[in-house]
Amino acid sequence: MNFYLSLASGLDDAFAAAPLIVLAASALATLAAVSFAKRKVAAAYALCAIGLAAALVSSFALSLKMLPRQVGGALSMDGLSFIGTAIVLVSALAIALASGPYLSRREGERGEYYVLLLFATLGASVLAASSSLASLFLGLELLSVSLYALVGYRRERPEGSKAAFTYLILASVASAFLLFGMALAYYQTGSLELSSIARAAAEGSGGPLFAAGLAMMGVGFAFKLAVAPFHMWAPEVYEGASAPVAALIATASKAAMAIPLVRVLAPHILAAPAIWAIAALSGASMIAGNLLALREERVKRMLAGSSIAQLGYLLVALAAGGSNGATAALFYLAAYSLSTLGAFACIAAISSAQADAGRENFRGLASRRPLVAAVMTASLLSLAGMPLTAGFIGKFMLISSGMGSGVPSAASILPMRILVVLLALNSAASLFYYLRLLSLMYRGREPEAQGEPRAAVLAGAALALIGLGILAIGIVPGPLMEAISSLAGR
């Protein structure tokens, strides 16, 4: 009887963790194909896309039915992990589809790229599902090591190698801060569970060493999210990486890092010092990110600045806390990921074999590639928070959570009001650099850009779905809001 009960429990655990199992199996299968298949690249591309699609299907068909469930004492397969994994998988699948035609135009295409993409996705998914410091660090390192290799994947590009080396050194320092902070937190609480550490922080029972550990962990998370003042690596890494890899860093990586923060911060109303600390990071990120983007002429560096500012907006909901803050943060995370994914996918779609698309490649784009121009327009307007887009609803929810936060004192209310004002002002300022790029796309009719690739069917379909998703969420946000609100409570 005990054997059958153990077997049933093991099967339930496997169903709950089905997306992770499928990703791991797909990564190993793709690695085998790269080693032994005759058409290595084609096999790797197909297995990667099929594996990501299967993982996404399994999360809805199997994992969703088992929520909530604790797996192995280190993974919490609950509503938060489901949302985070869904964002990661959708982003990775779109990136894989965009990578096929993008890499085929370049010399030295190798199937190992898709193996690294799958391992990065697996690391991000483990990170999103982590309920323990051990699994969190393992997921983070699997994601980070894969990203180091992906950033420098095209070894013939010196800027890619430089960006990879920069990312490796700075991310290693951030990981050291994070790991040492974890050690201090474990020393003071005697537990690796995130819930226990969050409870000790809320009760203020950890002492000065515990506070130092939390501060060091905060530095590690802030670096990985490219939150000011730990953001200076982002423009160089985005510019040096290929467009699909930059999209992976900006979407799946940041979504995976944000989910543990929502898991720790959302159940608690934070004390005034913690709110002021988060407010300082949020305000600095909004201002620094927008100032960086305003003076940038290169499109990927502009999007890096935009990404820094967008994470600053996200911190408003995390500072607000509570169920409303969690729902707003998760909704905005989905809207931001979809919009940023669309922008980078458009860059990949019009990049030549020699270099990624720059500003001049977008001149007259509406007359040459109307679908790409339309999706880029929807993506940039969504990032700016314009009506009828996903970004507008997301920013409305952020402002609502900031204004209606349940902070207990006047000292805590003031930073929330300041953040809401900064969010509105910075969103208005960001219109300048988004519209500056948009105006180029609709200026007259330009001749076909030299070396500009033709449209690929799968990549084009992914682009169209991204654009439709941005508009659908902006026009009819109710279903997604309700789904996120329901899942966040599971």
The predicted-structure confidence for 237-258, as pLDDT tens digits, reads as follows: 998 888 899 999 999 999 999 9
Cα 336 from Cα 348, distance rounded (Å):
18
Q: What is the DSSP letter of 193?
A: B
Residues above pLDDT 70, as percent of the chain: 90
Q: Which residue has the tokens 């510019």?
A: 239
| pLDDT tens per residue across span 165-200 | 888 888 888 889 999 999 988 888 888 888 888 888
Tell me what pLDDT residue 3 has.
57
Q: Is 132 within 8 Å of 196 (Cβ atoms)?
A: no
Q: Is 232 within 8 Å of 163 (Cβ atoms)?
A: no
Question: Residue 443: pLDDT above 80?
Answer: no
Binned at pLDDT 50, 70 and 90, residue 323 comes out as: confident
Q: Which two tokens stand for residue 106?
A: 């370049």
CA proximity to 228, closest of 287, 172, 174, 269: 287
Q: Is 148 within 8 Å of 240 (Cβ atoms)?
A: no
Tell me what pLDDT residue 201 has.
77
> pTM score, two decimals?
0.92
- Arithmetic mean of pLDDT, 124-143: 91
Maximum average pLDDT range among 153-167, 377-391, 431-445: 377-391
CA proximity to 113, closest of 127, 129, 128, 92: 92
Tell me what pLDDT residue 255 has.
92
| pLDDT tens per residue across span 108-120 | 667 888 999 999 9
Q: Cβ–Cβ contacts within 10 Å for residue 137, how many?
A: 18
Q: Is 111 within 8 Å of 45 (Cβ atoms)?
A: yes
Tell me what pLDDT residue 1 has.
55
| pLDDT tens per residue across span 420-442 | 999 999 999 999 999 999 888 88
Q: Which two tokens stand for residue 478?
A: 């109710």
Tell me what pLDDT residue 410 has.
56
Question: Residue 350: pLDDT above 60?
Answer: yes
Binned at pLDDT 50, 70 and 90, residue 405 comes out as: low
Tell me what pLDDT residue 319 has.
86
What are the contacts of 480-486 at 24+ separation with CB within 8 A? 480/331, 480/334, 481/327, 481/331, 481/393, 481/397, 484/83, 484/327, 484/330, 484/331, 484/334, 485/323, 485/327, 486/79
Tell me what pLDDT residue 486 has.
86
351 or 303, which is more confident: 303
Tell me what pLDDT residue 455 has.
60
- Arithmetic mean of pLDDT, 150-178: 84
How is the chain split among helix, strand and coil, in percent rounded to 5? 80, 0, 20
| Residue 340 C-beta-side C-alpha neighbours within 13 Å | 37
- Mean pLDDT rounded to a whole number for the chain: 86
